[in-house]
Amino acid sequence: MTSPQPGIFAEGTSTHRVQKYDIASSADAEHIRAALSGLAATIESQSDRGAEIVVGFGADLAQRLTVETPADFRSFETIGQGVRSAPATQHDLIIWVHGTGPGDVFDASLAARRTLADVGEIVSDISAFVYHDSRDLTGFIDGTENPAAEEGCEIAVVDEGLPGAGGSILLVQRWVHDLDTFHALDVPDQERVIGRTKPDSVELDEAVLPDDAHITRVVMEDDDGEEIEIYRRSVPFGNSTEAGLMFLGFTDELAKIDNMLREMYGVSDGVHDRVIDFSQARSSGYYFAPSKETLHRLNK
């Protein structure tokens, strides 16, 4: 049996940090595996101290280390065009650290970087946080329909017997909001952008729900009429000059989340999600978060 990395479903944390790494081309597989084995030990020790660490591999690194991944897993490819696009900024490794306080998260992030220092270069290190009652910086509640952790595990973890069992495909995006322009809209228009009421996140009636509202574009159904779900752990980031959302979405099949992005950018019908008039994806990458057992076997 395999089990997912527990940090994926450890909810209730308020402080987050997302690190991206590129692994040196000169580093041999043995040294990379040794470093990642050390990282697995770091995950356990830091969890005891109040911080969770989740590790995800880009497709190239997974292949380099012969880590088994789902059949459809690949690097991110740019979706959309021009300013209305999600650019591919794929890296080799993602580390998501989260905990109940900034001190624990800082310590765990520093320990992770030191563990990887001999084989990888850190290229991005973003601090993020829970904003009020789990709201996006636009003021809307984020992830209203996100499944609970138990259900999330069922929809986001690869089943036993399949390639990559116990692991999860992860989309990581950094969205930068134009908050001044968005907040210049009156509240009813803001609600039409999102498709929900601002105070309490009630879905707008179908009679007034626009075709380009966010929930219209991302809520999809399969051939049997069942909603296609992913599990998300998105958190705001930023300061008074640049702010937005670190989007982390987990799934057992890449096509689920890839198709949602294509709907957002109007690839099939030319109708784009109105959210992207007020927020731009500055970075996008697909990663595979292997099972806990796979991480521990890396150096054996």
Interval 7-62: pLDDT, tens? 999 999 999 999 999 999 999 999 999 999 899 888 988 888 889 999 999 999 99
Spell out the domain ranges in the chain.
Answer: 6-297
- Among the listed residues 142, 212, 252, 258, the single catalytic one is 142
* Mean pLDDT along residues 223-241: 93
Which two three-digit tokens encode residue 116?
């990887």
Q: Please report the pLDDT score of residue 50 as a whole number.
A: 87
pTM over 0.75: yes
Q: Please report the pLDDT score of residue 27 as a whole number.
A: 93
Confidence tier at 134 by pLDDT (50, 70, 90): very high
What is the CATH code of the structural domain delimited by 6-297? 3.30.70.1030
Q: CA dist 68 to 182, 289, 294, Å? A: 43, 11, 9
Element (H, E) at 60: helix 59-64
Per-residue pLDDT at 207 exceeds 80: yes
Per-residue pLDDT at 202 exceeds 80: yes
Interval 153-163: pLDDT, tens: 999 999 999 99
* Closest residue by Cα to residue 55 from 94, 98, 17: 94
Q: CA dist 181 to 21, 178, 186, 271, 280, Å? A: 33, 6, 11, 21, 13
Per-residue pLDDT at 300 exceeds 80: no
CA pseudo-torsion sign 265, 203, 174, 285: negative
Instruction: Based on the residue annotation, tell me whether 142 is a catalytic residue of this protein.
Output: yes
Element (H, E) at 278: none
